[in-house]
Amino acid sequence: MKAAATNETELIRRILAGETELFHELIRPYERLVYVTIFAILKNETEAEDGAQETMINAFRYLKNFRGDAKFSTWLVTIAMNEARKRLRKGKAAAEDSLDATLEDPEGGDYTPAVLTDWREIPLEALEKKELREKLQEAVALLPEKYREVFVLRDIEELNQEETAAALGINVTLVKVRLHRARMMLQKILVPYLKSGAGSDIHGKPFATQGKAQRGGFFRRWFT
């Protein structure tokens, strides 16, 4: 990572010194990051591609304003996020992504997850279902903008808390609060679809062993 950062610093210096064609090389590792960031907000391929182009053009034009105190990737994501916001406000995005359709904003109030005692794990077959993937995308689109932004950067882009805070211009505490709310909202929306035809071995098992058994089985394959 350090080598990459050093290389970037050097590339940026040379670009600013006049070797502008090196900009192509500078941004190549981040093409996907920029596109996915904007697409996750706008849910429209054409808009996301146009937005990604504008982001990179702006990055090129304002490269001299980049201060080395943030990571270059974070700086790019900040520009991408601003571009996505701008397009969202202009109403250029897909009609079904209208702000009217978003969830009520619970900030300031209590937020409770969906409680479902017969909820079961997703079997692998279900994970592969296109339908479920689409439900997730729809659910993310339903999140109020400020929660969606944090969810996109933290859980889709896998930026860390500090990078997310820097990209959005908010503090780390707010990142944590909004991420939690976003996840809880998604849980609530998606719970009905996450119910599957998996075995009903939950019932009849003692409560004390059930949770551990669940977490130790399926998820170990994904999280270790």
Partner 1 sequence: MKLDCKHVWEHISGYLDQQLDPELLAAVEKHLENCEVCSAVLDSTRNVLVLTADNRTYELPVGYSERLHARLTAVMAGGETS
Q: Rule CB under 8 A: is residue 220 a binding residue for partner 1?
A: no
Q: Rule CB under 8 A: is residue 60 a binding residue for partner 1?
A: yes
Residues 6+ apart with CB under 8 A from 200: 118, 120
**DSSP code at position 152:** I
Amino acid present at 214: Q
Residue 78's alpha-carbon distances to 59, 70, 176, 189, 191, in angstroms, are 10, 11, 18, 28, 32
Write the interaction track for partner 1 spanning residues 151-190; mark x where CB under 8 A is met and - where it is not: ----xx-------------------x--xx--xx-xx--x
Alpha carbon distance 103, 133 (integer Å): 20
Please identify, using beta-carbon distances, which residue of 2 and 61 lies nearer to partner 1. 61
> Looking at 29, 68, 91, 113, which residue binds partner 1 (CB under 8 A)?
113
Number of neighbouring beta carbons within 10 Å of residue 174: 15
Write the interaction track for partner 1 spanning residues 66-105; mark x where CB under 8 A is met and - where it is not: ----------------------------------------
Q: How far is CA 95 from the centre of its chain?
A: 21
Q: Rule CB under 8 A: is residue 64 a binding residue for partner 1?
A: no
Please identify, using beta-carbon distances, which residue of 16 and 156 lies nearer to partner 1. 156
Alpha carbon distance 223, 112 (integer Å): 25
Please identify, using beta-carbon distances, which residue of 23 and 72 lies nearer to partner 1. 23
> Looking at 3, 90, 104, 222, which residue binds partner 1 (CB under 8 A)?
222
Please identify, using beta-carbon distances, which residue of 65 and 117 lies nearer to partner 1. 117
Token duo for residue 15: 């670009």
Place of tokens 């170990």: 220
Q: Does the CA dihedral 124-44-86-144 come out positive or negative?
A: negative
Alpha carbon distance 133, 123 (integer Å): 14
Write the interaction track for partner 1 spanning residues 120-139; mark x where CB under 8 A is met and - where it is not: -xx----x----xx--xx--
List binders of partner 1 among 10-49 (CB under 8 A).
20-21, 23-24, 27, 31-32, 35-36, 45, 49
Residue 111's alpha-carbon distances to 26, 108, 189, 205, in angstroms, are 43, 9, 13, 30
> Looking at 4, 99, 103, 116, which residue binds partner 1 (CB under 8 A)?
116
Token duo for residue 81: 């996020």
Interaction site with partner 1 (CB under 8 A): 20-21, 23-24, 27, 31-32, 35-36, 45, 49, 52-53, 56-57, 60-61, 110, 112-117, 119, 121-122, 127, 132-133, 136-137, 155-156, 176, 179-180, 183-184, 186-187, 190-191, 194, 202, 207-208, 210-212, 214-215, 219, 222
